[in-house]
Amino acid sequence: MTRIDDAFESAEDEFAHELETEYLELTDPKTRQRERIWQLVDGGLPFLVFYAGYQWRSVVVGAVAALAVAAVLAVVRLIRGERLIAVGFGAFSVALSSTIAVASGQGRGFFVTGLAFNTIALAITAGSLVIARPVTGQLAQRLGREQPTWRKEPKRYRTHQKMTAFWVLLWILHLAVLIPLFMISAVGAMTMLSTFVLKPSILLWLVITFAWGERSRRADADS
């Protein structure tokens, strides 16, 4: 169990630091414009290429094109110095999406992983509220942005309840739009949504959450 716990804690640390790095790059005046464009390309290009190939020829052509683009993006991300675990997750996600699409023979299969991701994220964030361990507080503590005693401090605990609920709302909104489109096989609409709305909204929520946390900590310290 110790090895499993250590592996889980290591993955949680990696995830927390990846989020912090993303936030810092998105808000740094020197890098924010470039980073926002890169995130749009990195998050959206595989979807756009898949849809183009799917419309032009078939699901297989779309899947192969998406895999090729994902491989190129993975190399670029490694050159940029991004963490291997983040690069691997992105490439694996596209590979899995492509595999499901080809196996099902349907374009909408490419979006199953997106549905699964949002569902799992909703379960984790909502579940953390149920067990009184808001996930934003756990991650903030990992980053040294919260004291280990934050759960015993009513103001800090309530703040993280609200911030975690803020993320629950995001996942619900995503699923509320994705599920109906998936059911009617609206591949084009899901492509546009995934490229220009879903990933950007996650980044927006990330920036808001970090700013919210910083502001609330200063306010609590002054009170």
> Does residue 222 belong to any structural domain of this protein?
no
Q: Which range in 8-12, 161-165, 196-200, 216-220 is most confidently predicted, on average pLDDT?
A: 161-165
> Does residue 73 belong to any structural domain of this protein?
yes
> Does residue 89 belong to any structural domain of this protein?
yes
- The angle at the Cα of 71, spanning 65 to 77, to the nearest 5 degrees, equals 135
> Does residue 220 belong to any structural domain of this protein?
no
Q: pTM for the complete prediction?
A: 0.89
Helix, coil or strand: residue 131: coil
pLDDT of 5 over the 80 cut: no
Lowest mean pLDDT: which of 56-60, 148-152, 215-219? 215-219
> Does residue 87 belong to any structural domain of this protein?
yes
Backbone dihedral angles phi then psi of residue 184, each to the nearest 5 degrees: -100, 10
> Does residue 13 belong to any structural domain of this protein?
yes
Of 200, 181, 144, 134, the C-alpha closest to 17 is 144
> Which range of residues forms the domain containing residue 85?
2-214
> Does residue 169 belong to any structural domain of this protein?
yes
Location of structure tokens 């991650």: 139
26 vs 90, which has greater pLDDT?
Answer: 90
pLDDT of 178 over the 90 cut: yes
Tally of domains in the chain: 1
Burial classification of residue 94, based on how many CB atoms lie within 10 Å of its CB (0-12 exposed, 13-18 middle, 19 or more buried)? buried
Q: For 41-85, write each residue's pLDDT tens digit.
A: 788 899 999 999 999 999 999 999 999 999 998 998 888 877 777
> Does residue 189 belong to any structural domain of this protein?
yes
